[in-house]
Amino acid sequence: MRLFHVSEEPDIAVFHPRLPARADLDPAVGLVWAIDEVHLPNFLTPRDCPRVTYHVTENTTAEDRARFFAMNSCTWAVAIESGWFRRMLDTTLYLYELDPAGFRLQDAAAGYYVSTGTQVPIARHVCRDLPEALFSRGVELRIAAHLWDLAAAVQQSSLEWSLCRMKNAVKP
């Protein structure tokens, strides 16, 4: 298993645990967050970019697959708003690879792992072409005027999904 921390910052030498802002986590325990390689496509956008991501699982119906994917060869999709597309083209991401030994699974569906200890990256991968990074992983990139209708539909589907940074999404 490979774990990554995705950032727009090019020079992170050490990751120190930070207190979480999420209400479902202990606010007194600092964490370093990482994402597993399988779920990495969910984070190959500018950090604050609102996005709806979804993928096929063994529970996905043929109807949902046909409804939510334009290409039969894709099993994963990332949808962003058209207003973010230029920023996506202009953003460079740094994928800091972390040693999985110090991490525990926090959320299997999201691929989130956490560590309470300081982490030093074992590698840094530069990602200058975000659409190509998605395409090379077999991900369908969708561009929409707004994401709210898609978000509502995906949540009612048989797909595995994630909604990220939706507070930044355009209201229809």
Q: What is the 3-state secondary structure (H, E, C) of the chain?
A: CCEEEEECCCCCCCECCECCCCCCCCCCCCEEEEEEHHHHHHHCCCCCCCEEEEECCCCCCHHHHHHHCCCCCCCEEEEEEHHHHHHHHHCCEEEEEECHHHCEEEECCCCEEEECCCECCCEEEEECCHHHHHHCCCEEEEEECCCHHHHHHHHCCCCEEEEECHHHCCCC
Query: Count of domains in the chain?
Result: 1
Pairwise pLDDT comparison (114 vs 109), residue with the higher score: 114
Reported as a single tens digit per residue, the pLDDT across 118-167 is 999 999 999 999 999 999 999 999 999 999 999 999 999 999 999 999 99
pTM to 2 decimal places = 0.93
Its domain, for residue 55, covers 3-168
Task: Note the pLDDT of residue 114.
Answer: 97
pLDDT at 6 over 90: yes
Reported as a single tens digit per residue, the pLDDT across 123-135 is 999 999 999 999 9
Reported as a single tens digit per residue, the pLDDT across 46-81 is 999 999 999 999 999 999 999 999 988 899 999 999
